C-alpha cells in the first residue's frame, strides 16, 4: 500500500484529497504545517509527499529545501500543490527541490497521473 503524506493547512482541501486518494487505494497521512510535516516524515517516511506551498509556521518551499538537504529524504518524491498560477511558481517549486507541481483547483486525474509517474520512476 502506497503511503502518501498530505501537507495542507486548509481543512476542506485536506478532507477532499484524503477521501479521494483513499478511494483510489492510497494510505493517507496528513500534516497541517511544514514543521509537523518534517516531524511525520522523520517518524515514518512516506512513499510520496503532496505539499501545499502556503503553509503556516514553515512554508512549503522551506520544508522542501529542508527535506532535500537531508540525505535521508533527498530523493523523496514531492509534488507541490500551488494556488498561484504564475509561471514563476513552477520555477520556485522546482528550485526548492520539488519533483513536480500542480495548481489548484486540482485536476484529480492529472494528479493521479503525476503520482503514478513519480512512484514508478
Site residues (vs another protein, CB under 8 A): 9-13, 16-17, 19-20, 23, 54, 56, 83-86, 104-106, 108
Closest CB 105 distance from another protein, rounded Å? 4
Q: How many C-beta atoms surround the C-beta of residue 77 within 10 A? A: 19
Which residue number, 69 or 113, has a Cβ lying nearer to another protein? 113
Which residue number, 19 or 39, has a Cβ lying nearer to another protein? 19
Q: Torsion angle, CA of 21/84/38/35, rounded to 10 degrees?
A: -120
Which residue number, 21 or 98, has a Cβ lying nearer to another protein? 21
Rounded Cα gap, residues 69 and 74, in angstroms: 6
Which residue number, 76 or 101, has a Cβ lying nearer to another protein? 101
Closest CB 12 distance from another protein, rounded Å? 4
The answer to whether the CB of 52 falls within 8 A of the CB of 81 is: yes
- Residue 35 Cα distances to 15, 62, 70, angstroms: 20, 10, 14
Closest CB 78 distance from another protein, rounded Å? 20
Amino acid at each position: 500500500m502506497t503511503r502518501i503524506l498530505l501537507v495542507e493547512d486548509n481543512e476542506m482541501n485536506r478532507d477532499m484529497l484524503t477521501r479521494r486518494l483513499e478511494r483510489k487505494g492510497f494510505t493517507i497521512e496528513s500534516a497541517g504545517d511544514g514543521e509537523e510535516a518534517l516531524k511525520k516524515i522523520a517518524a515514518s517516511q512516506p512513499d510520496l509527499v503532496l505539499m501545499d506551498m502556503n503553509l503556516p509556521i514553515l512554508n512549503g518551499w522551506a520544508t522542501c529545501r529542508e527535506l532535500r538537504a537531508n540525505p535521508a529524504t533527498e530523493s523523496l518524491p514531492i509534488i507541490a500543490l500551488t494556488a498561484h498560477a504564475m509561471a514563476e511558481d513552477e520555477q520556485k517549486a522546482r528550485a526548492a527541490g520539488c519533483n513536480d507541481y500542480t495548481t489548484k483547483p486540482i485536476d484529480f486525474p492529472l494528479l493521479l497521473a503525476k503520482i503514478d509517474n513519480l512512484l514508478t520512476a
